Each structure stands twice: as structure tokens, then as C-alpha cells.
Amino acid sequence: MRKSIVKDKSFDFAIKIVNLYKYLRADMNEFVLSKQILRSGTSIGANINEALQGQIRKIF
């Protein structure tokens, strides 16, 4: 299987989002917005994985 640049970048982005989430929860006491940022920022990787699997299995 080939390495996907998009997959690698989305993983790095998700790590940054998790760190932002931790900062917002701990230092800023922001609970609602931080949870939404975490969900939307980390779902990108799941969508990319699903798209790549569709291309591999000819499901597209």
C-alpha cells in the first residue's frame, strides 16, 4: 500500500487539534466549543481512511 500524504497530514492535524482541546479544557475552562473542535478536527482522518478504502476495493 502506498503512503498517503493527505493521510499523514490529517494525522498531524488531529494531534494539533487534540493539543488545542487539552489547552481549551484545562486553561480556558471552555467545554462546549472544545468538544466540537475535537469531534470535527479528528473526523477528517476517518473520512480520508474511508475514501482511501473505497478506492482500493473499487467500491467507488
Listed in order, strand segments (DSSP E) in the chain are none
Altogether, the residues listed in the chain come to a count of 60
Convert the pLDDT of each residue in 14-43 to its tens digit.
999 999 999 999 999 999 999 999 999 999
User: 0.85 cut: is pTM over it?
Assistant: no
- From residue 32, alpha-carbon distances to 1, 6, 11, 22, 54 in Å are 39, 28, 23, 13, 33
pLDDT band at 3 (very low <50, low <70, confident <90, very high): confident
pLDDT value at 1 more than 80: no
pLDDT value at 57 more than 80: no
- Residue 36 CA to residue 38 CA, distance in Å, equals 5
pLDDT at 24: 95
Residue 44 grid cell: 477528517
- Report residue 30: phi and psi, to 5°: -100, 120
Which comes out higher in pLDDT, residue 32 or 2?
A: 32
